[in-house]
Structure 1
Amino acid sequence: MLTRRATLAATLLPLAAQAQEGYPSRPVTLIVPFAPGGATDMIGRMVAEALTPRLGKPVVVENRPGAAANIGVAALARAAPDGHTIGIVSLTTLGLNPWLYKDRLPFNPERDFAPISNGAITPNVLVINPRKIPATNLAELVAWLKAHPGQANYGSSGAGTAIHVAMEIFLAAAGLTATHVPYRGSGPMMTDLIGGQIDLAVDGAAVAWPHVQGGSVRAIATTGAERAFFAPDLPTLAETYPNAIIAPWHGFAAPANTPTPIVERLSRDIQAVLADPTIITRMRTQVMIPAPMSPTTFATFITTERTRYGRVIEAAGIRVE
């Protein structure tokens, strides 16, 4: 038995080395499971651009939106495990959807992926169209929603996404009702919020904050455990509703069984990109927080997040039909 194991190891090690040495042999596809224009897409394009010279081959972003990002992530799970297709996984896809969709999920979140590195944390902000809801702070917003039960429409980038869950957690904590209008991404949702087709939303600050600064939408609160670095005077929902905390993250993964040397190579390169001062500045300018991790650390982080938000979703009674 020992001889057979030794022979197998001696056979696999050169193959793994060859896989790393010959990688990449063609352009690398980066699947972004959301529509263009949202925070996830912004992170993907930023990293793809900086990763291209490190890999020596183009890194091409492919947007595959729909079904709360399950379509794109399922495509990643089915891709050839050779490192030439990687994708963005997130709190939505690997932390929330396993609880929201359960036996309807088109992939196994524990077995179908090889975590590479986390990418960035994107603070969320609760925003309103001030021409539709005349509120200037959280107390006024809650009072208005209570005075108009079920009359407000709120948007999300898809049923079951992190920003949908964030709004549902807030509504449940405050005892409010509003009608959910799902979109295929943050970009089209924000367009309709500005245009008045919907009244309020939780969205990534990377998308929402420029519109807050321009005056087309009004910021009411952020959704993290602490006040955001870009708006220290803006309260968090948790200051009023302690359980209304959600902090989205967006990381990188390959299909399961991608050779370890390739996963480690990608992780080193992505971590180097995220540690580059230019990228750090660009991310912070777009109100994102770089969060590089080793494959092992990222895998543990994903498991911890999935467990934590499972408790939150069950407590709030959130379901996706």
Structure 2
Amino acid sequence: MGHPTRRHALQALAALLAATLPFAAAAQGFPSKPIKLVIPHAAGGNSDAFGRILAQKLSERIGQQVVVENRTGAGGTIACASVAKSAPDGYTLVVADNGTQAIAPTLYGHRLQYDVFKDFTPVTLAATFPSLLLVPPNFPAKTAKEFVALAKSQPGKLTYSSAGTGNGSHLTLELFRAAAGGLDMVHVPYKGGAPAVQALLAGEVQLTSVSVNTALPHVQAGKARPLGVASAKRSPALPDVPTFNEVGIPFEADNWLAILGPAGIPADVAARLNTEITATLRSPDVQERLAKLGLEVVASSPADYTKLLASDVPKWGKAVKDSGAVAE
């Protein structure tokens, strides 16, 4: 009979191998069935358009169907919570965004059904898209600096619309007000981005914040005028519009999309997902299609996503607290 210590060590090794072999086998054959890609928002928005382009091209690349499922509610947090609770096998992913991951922890507080750092396996920071601040075409202030001067000369008089209290558009404008010296303006929340933009086009409010692709047709038609881009660099879609940093109002409010799975996905499966998804996003035709939506491909490592999230949670959290917004 062998030495007890050695026998126990061999038994432990055998148990470890038995536990890890299924994962190794799964990783070698991954993916062997369709992958579900959950979109936390309704059809027609940035994350939906992005998700459908990615799903189509990723399906072609990996030889397995990538099925898109729109699951709405609570600002996208219901979908993210469902993915966080799904099996950690790499077959359920979500197109998360700064709203669901960086804003939600402060906006929802203890009611949020997931921990943004602990309950997900990051696959990649997929794409970014900047916000644009718009004014009506006949508004007397022609530049961001002139707007700030006018707002300061008329405290409490100018109004700004958003897609809802605590929405990214609302908080982007809160960041702008703070960066411009604490502008005293009146917030007018709407139920969704479309009516918030319509309020500006109708002259009911003097300022709003929207993504570049949403703003583009209104700007090109002369129905709205951009004050600036809330990003570190100018948008290729509107190269003549300066960033706010350039004009001395230091603030950035980039929106982003990331691909996440539930925590606990085996490292080799997560690595395979990162390889296939980033390669798909970097393909020229996908980059071209996304650029038309105002989306710039990032296709990063998981570590890059985690680093961004660590800086964005406090930034957006402060904006939520300063605005007084509370999720309904």
Shift of 1:125: 0.6
In the superposition, the TM-score normalised over structure 2's length comes to 0.83
In the superposition, the TM-score normalised over structure 1's length comes to 0.85
Residues 1:300 and 2:300 are matched in the alignment: no
Name the amino acid aligned to 1:93: T
Which residue pairs with 1:10 in the alignment? 17
Which residue pairs with 1:138 in the alignment? 144
Name the amino acid aligned to 2:245: A
User: Is the contact made by 1:38 and 1:187 (CA closer than 8 Å) also made in structure 2?
Assistant: no
User: Is the contact made by 2:158 and 2:205 (CA closer than 8 Å) also made in structure 1?
Assistant: no
Task: Report which stretch shifted further, 255-264 or 267-276.
Answer: 255-264
Which of 93, 101, 126 matches 1:94? 101
Q: Distance in 2 between matches of 1:2 and 1:176?
A: 70
Q: CA RMSD in A?
A: 2.8
Which residue pairs with 2:51 in the alignment? 44
User: Is the contact made by 2:161 and 2:196 (CA closer than 8 Å) also made in structure 1?
Assistant: no
Which of 175, 178, 181 matches 2:189? 181
Residues 1:59 and 2:66 are matched in the alignment: yes
Which residue pairs with 1:257 in the alignment? 264
Task: Report which stretch shifted further, 55-64 or 283-292.
Answer: 55-64
Rate the CA distance shift 1:191–1:82 in 2: closer, same or farther, 3 A. farther
Rate the CA distance shift 1:255–1:211 in 2: closer, same or farther, 3 A. same
Which residue pairs with 1:211 in the alignment? 218
Name the amino acid aligned to 1:283: L
Residues 1:165 and 2:165 are matched in the alignment: no
Show CA shifts across 1:214-248 (max 9, x none). 32322111111333333333222234554422222
Residues 1:320 and 2:321 are matched in the alignment: no
Q: Distance in 1 between matches of 2:258 and 2:91?
A: 17
Structure 1: gaps spanning 5 or more residues: none
Show CA shifts across 1:150-209 (max 9, x none). 5524122x443333211111123331312231434x456445554566553211112222
User: Is the contact made by 1:67 and 1:159 (CA closer than 8 Å) also made in structure 2?
Assistant: no
Q: Of the two, which has the highest radius of gyration?
A: 2
Rate the CA distance shift 1:195–1:25 in 2: closer, same or farther, 3 A. farther
User: Is the contact made by 1:115 and 1:299 (CA closer than 8 Å) also made in structure 2?
Assistant: yes
Which residue pairs with 1:34 in the alignment? 41
User: Is the contact made by 1:222 and 1:228 (CA closer than 8 Å) also made in structure 2?
Assistant: yes
Matched length: 316
State percent identity of aligned pairs: 29
User: Is the contact made by 1:32 and 1:41 (CA closer than 8 Å) also made in structure 2?
Assistant: yes
Which residue pairs with 2:276 in the alignment? 269
Show CA shifts across 1:3-58 (max 9, x none). 45523431233211332345444432222222333222222222112111123232
User: Is the contact made by 1:117 and 1:267 (CA closer than 8 Å) also made in structure 2?
Assistant: yes
Task: Report which stretch shifted further, 194-203 or 168-177.
Answer: 194-203
Which of 77, 81, 87 matches 1:74? 81
User: Is the contact made by 2:159 and 2:205 (CA closer than 8 Å) also made in structure 1?
Assistant: yes
